[in-house]
Amino acid sequence: MGNQPIKMDTGNKVLLFISSLALLATVLFLVSQLASWIGGMMGSQAEAVSEERIAERIAPIGRVVSGEVDTAEEAADLSPGDIYANVCAACHDSGASGAPLKDDTDEWTNRLNDKGLETLFENSINGIGAMPARGGDSSLTDEQMNEVVAYMLDQAGVDHGYEGSANGNGDTAADDAAAEGEEPVATTDAGEAAAEEEAEAVAAIAVDEGDVERGQSRYNTCVACHGAQGQGTPVFPALAGRDAEYIADKLVRYRAGETVGDQTALMAPNAANLSDQDIADLAVYVATFED
């Protein structure tokens, strides 16, 4: 009798099931309340940290200070080449509005012979034709404008005889030496010095040691503008038919930050990190393109 199983009718089973559900719901309710309480405690701490982080994130990264800028002092620190790149290159590199190209030897020779150096200086200072006075930069001094004109004549390979301090032909050192009774030291023409420096940089490129396969890999970044076979585009020049020395010369000048042509702003950043070996590899690969 004592070992007989307890028999439950359907009504008792339903009641037991409902009781179990009620117990489960109670447990879940208590657990949710406990989780909410713990979450509230952590949330208050997180909120404080969050406010600090927000304050850091929305803090200004800088501030604008208004006031007078000594443009004359800033301009005084610029070399003729810097001034040319900033003020003159837009027209004298492209020939816009009839401006003579910087490296057009015949044009500059004719202008120098016809007008004389002083007139060229005056035109650069006062403006002529489409060119505004001082190239549009009123902070430049007369001397700086003279230096820039001399710089362009140097780049064109035209002998002008101007001796300006910033142009590299300055006689300041000679005057100081003479005042102290010393023999003046001969100065070097800026154009010749720049040309020699550039020639040395190009000579340092061992084109004969360039590797065509490495150059082809490097050239992948050039395809979009110059074409897979160097055929060029309406905007970018063709490279096909150019020899390795020509390509190396252009890349060295771009790498040095020199204004070479209309696309200098796009080319210079790409050439800035090229090593001598990279330039040699690219040069010999591009030289394989047939015109």
Q: Are 281 and 218 in contact (CB under 8 A)?
A: yes
User: pLDDT band at 227, cuts 50/70/90?
Assistant: confident
- What is the CA 212 to chain-centroid distance, rounded? 28
CA–CA gap between residue 182 and residue 133 (Å, rounded)? 41
CA–CA gap between residue 57 and residue 81 (Å, rounded)? 42
Q: Between the CA of residue 265 and those of 111, 198, 260, 276, what are the distances in Å?
A: 29, 19, 9, 21
Per-residue pLDDT at 159 exceeds 50: yes
Q: Which residues pair with 128 in a beta bridge?
A: 131
Instruction: Specify the range with the lowest mean pLDDT, choosing from 45-54, 154-163, 206-215, 239-248.
Output: 45-54
CA–CA gap between residue 291 and residue 270 (Å, rounded)? 24
Percentage with pLDDT > 90 across the chain: 7
Six-digit token string for 287: 């030289």
Q: Tens digit of pLDDT for each residue in 53-86?
A: 777 767 666 666 565 555 555 556 788 888 888 8
Q: What is the pLDDT of residue 201?
A: 59
User: pLDDT band at 180, cuts 50/70/90?
Assistant: very low
Count the residues in the chain.
Answer: 291
Q: Are 134 and 75 in contact (CB under 8 A)?
A: no
Q: Which residues pair with 131 in a beta bridge?
A: 128
Six-digit token string for 4: 């007989």
Q: What is the pLDDT of residue 288?
A: 92
- Residue 33's SS3 state is helix
Phi-psi region of 20 (alpha: psi -120 to 50; beta: other; left: phi over 0): alpha
Per-residue pLDDT at 282 exceeds 60: yes
Q: What is the pLDDT of residue 179?
A: 41
Q: Are 237 and 262 in contact (CB under 8 A)?
A: no
Q: What is the pLDDT of residue 178?
A: 41
- Residue 116's SS3 state is coil
Tell me which residue of 207, 208, 289 sits closest to 251, measured CA to CA.
207
Q: What are phi and psi of 58, to 5 degrees?
A: -90, 0
Per-residue pLDDT at 199 exceeds 80: no
Q: What is the mean pLDDT of the chain?
A: 77
